[in-house]
Chains A and B, each alone.
Chain A
Amino acid sequence: MLELSRRRFLIGVGLSGLVMAFPRLLAATPSSSEQDFHVRPIPSTGESVPAIGMGTWITFNVGGDQYLIDERTRVLETFLARNGTVIDCSPMYGSAADVIGAGLEKLGAHDRIFAATKIWTSDGSETREQAATSEQRWGIERFDLLQVHNLLAWQEHLATLKEMKAEGRVRYIGITTSHGRRHRELARIMETEPLDFVQLTYNVLDREAEERLLPLARERGIAVIANRPFQGGSLFRRFQSEPLPSWAREAGVGNWAEFFLKFIISHPAVTCAIPATTRVEHMQENMGAMYGQLPDTSQRRMMAEYVRQL
C-alpha cells in the first residue's frame, strides 16, 4: 500500500506536472535514466502514479503451485524494479490475490505498491467484508483503490465505498467495465457520482472510449485505468509478425509492446495502462513503455491507421 508522504506527494505532483506540460522534455534525453519515467496525476488529489501498472487476470491465478508462485514473484520483482507501483486484481481472479500476497511478502514490498482491487459480489451488503478478505490475502492494511467490478450491484457497493473513503478505510474509489460493455450506463455514473477512478478497455483497436468516456473523465477529473491494453494478448498474435512502421523510432517506439502501450498512455485522459504477463522478459518490454519519448497527437493517429491497414 502506497503511503502518501508529503515529500513523495510534492515530487509526484511536480514531476507529473512537468511531464504533462512538457511531454518531450524527458523524452529528449535519448538514454533516459531509470528515474525519468512517465507518471500521471490522479486528478482528485494530484498524487502521481507511474503510467504503466500491472494486471493479474489469468497470469497470477496459479493456485498452490510453488514453482509458478516463485515465477510470478520474479515478474512482480521486475515490475517493481522498473518503478511500477499500480497492481490491479479482483476477487474474481481465483488465487491471484494470494499469489500477489505471497510475492509482496517475499519481496518485502507491501509499502512500495499502489494496491488496487475490486468488489465483485452481487450481494450489495458484502462490500466491507470482501474488501477485508482481499486486504488479508494481499497482506496489507488498506487498499489504495477499491473499484466496483463490472458495475455489479454498483449502487450499493458505491454507497459503502463512499463511506469507507470518508472513514479513511480506502484512499480512492472507482468502477470498472471492459470489452466496451455498458458504456452508456458508465457515463451516467461518471456524470453523477464522485469517482476518483474509472477502469475501462482502451487499446489501439478498441477505441470506443475515445468518443464519450475519455473526454468525460477529463471533464469530471476522473483518473482512467486502461485494461486489456493488448486485447488480452490478441494484438501480439495479430501483429507481432509484422514490421513496425518506419517512423516508429521517431514516436519513441522500439517494439510492439511499446507501440501498444505508448499509444494508450499518450492519450491525455489516460492515467495508467495495466498489461498482464506471466513472463519476466515481457514485463521488461512492457515497462519499457514507461520510458522515453511518447507519440504526439499526429503520431497517435498514424499508429491507429497503421494497425488498421495491416
Chain B
Amino acid sequence: MNGATWLSYSLQDFVMFGPEVFLRLFARINQDLWPWLLLWPLAGLVLPWFGRQAAELPRRLAMALAGLAWIGCGYLFLVRYYGPVNWPATGFGWAFVFQGLLLLLLKGRALPGPMAWPVVVSWWLAVFLLPWLSVLEMPDLWALALFGLAPGVTVASTVLLFAGQPLPLRWLLLVLPLAWSLFSAAIYWALGTFWLLGFPVATLVLLVVALRVNPSPAQNPGSQSVHPGPGRQSP
C-alpha cells in the first residue's frame, strides 16, 4: 500500500468490533469466574502489605502476585476473551504472560526495597478506584474492571512497582505497559468509550508519581547500589 492509501484510513477503520462487545468482556469474564474472581482484588489489597515488609520473602511474594496478575489478565482477558474479537489483543496477551513469567523469575530481586507509603496509597487508589471506569461506561456491577483480570487496572497499578526497579530493568519492564497504554488509548478513542481513557491516563500519572518517589540511580547520587528503590527512602 502506498502512502496515499494509508492516509485514506481513519483510526475507526482499524477497529473491528463495537463498544458493546468490548464492555461486555468485563462482565462476561467476571460472571464466568465468579466467585473465584474475588481472589484477584484480594491479592490487590494485600500486595502492598507484603511489599512494605523489610524481610525479602514477603517482598518476593508481592512480586509473585504482580506476576500472577499479569499472567491472569494476559491469558484470560486478552487471549481468551478479547483475542477473538481483536487479533492484536492475542499478541499482547502472550506478551503479558511472558512479562508475568519474567516477574515470577525475578522474584525478590525485582522489588529491591519495601514500598514507600505514597506508592502504597497510589496502589490502593488504582486497584480500588480504576475498576469503576468500566462501570461508568456500562452501568452494571458485573462490568467492574478488576485487578489481575482487566489489563487497564493491572498495568496502571503495577507500573508503580516497575518504576522502583534498578536500570535498565525498569525500562525493560515499562516497555509493554507503555505500548499497551498507547494501543488501548487508540481503541478507546475510536470506540468512543471515553471513560476508559482513564486507564492509560492513570498509568502515565502513576508512572510519574512512582518515578518521583523512586528517582533513577543517576538522578539520586545517594544510591550507588544496583538495587535502589523505595527501601532507600523508607527503611
The residue in chain A whose Cβ has the minimal distance to the Cβ of B12 is A232
* Interface size, A (range): 20 to 34
A63 touches B12 (CB 8 A): no
- Residues in B whose Cβ lies below 8 Å from that of A94: 16-17, 84-87
Residues of B4-47 whose CB lies within 8 A of A: 5, 8-9, 12-13, 15-18, 20-21, 24-25, 28
Q: Quick check: is B81 within 8 A (CB to CB) of the other chain?
A: yes
The digit string for B176-196, where 1 denotes a CB below 8 A from any CB of A, is: 000000000000000000000
Bound Cα distance A94, B20 (Å): 16
Bound Cα distance A182, B87 (Å): 26
- Residues in B whose Cβ lies below 8 Å from that of A63: 17, 21, 25, 81-82, 84-85
Q: Quick check: is A62 within 8 A (CB to CB) of the other chain?
A: yes
The digit string for A45-59, where 1 denotes a CB below 8 A from any CB of B, is: 000000000000111
B5 touches A62 (CB 8 A): no
Bound Cα distance A67, B81 (Å): 14
A61 touches B24 (CB 8 A): no
Per DSSP, chain B at the interface is helix
- A59 in contact with B16 given A65-B24, A94-B85, A94-B86 (CB within 8 Å): no
- A68 in contact with B5 given A63-B85, A94-B84, A94-B86 (CB within 8 Å): no
- Residues in A whose Cβ lies below 8 Å from that of B25: 63
B17 touches A58 (CB 8 A): yes
The residue in chain B whose Cβ has the minimal distance to the Cβ of A95 is B84
The residue in chain A whose Cβ has the minimal distance to the Cβ of B4 is A181
- Residues in A whose Cβ lies below 8 Å from that of B82: 63
Residues of A195-235 whose CB lies within 8 A of B: 232
- Residues in A whose Cβ lies below 8 Å from that of B18: 58-59, 278
Among A61, A92, A182, A232, the residue within 8 A (CB) of B85 is A61
What is the minimal beta-carbon distance from B143 to any residue of chain A, in angstroms? 13
The residue in chain B whose Cβ has the minimal distance to the Cβ of A57 is B16
Among B12, B16, B24, B86, the residue within 8 A (CB) of A68 is B24
Among B12, B21, B28, B81, the residue within 8 A (CB) of A61 is B21
User: What are 18 A-B residue pairs whose CB atoms fall within 8 Å in the complex?
Assistant: A58-B16, A58-B17, A61-B85, A62-B85, A63-B81, A63-B82, A63-B84, A64-B84, A65-B21, A65-B24, A65-B28, A68-B20, A94-B16, A94-B86, A94-B87, A181-B5, A181-B8, A278-B20
Other A-B pairs beyond A61-B85, A278-B20, 5, CB < 8 Å: A57-B16, A63-B25, A65-B21, A68-B21, A179-B13
Q: Which A residues contact B (CB, under 8 angstroms)?
A: 57-59, 61-65, 67-68, 92-95, 179-182, 232, 278
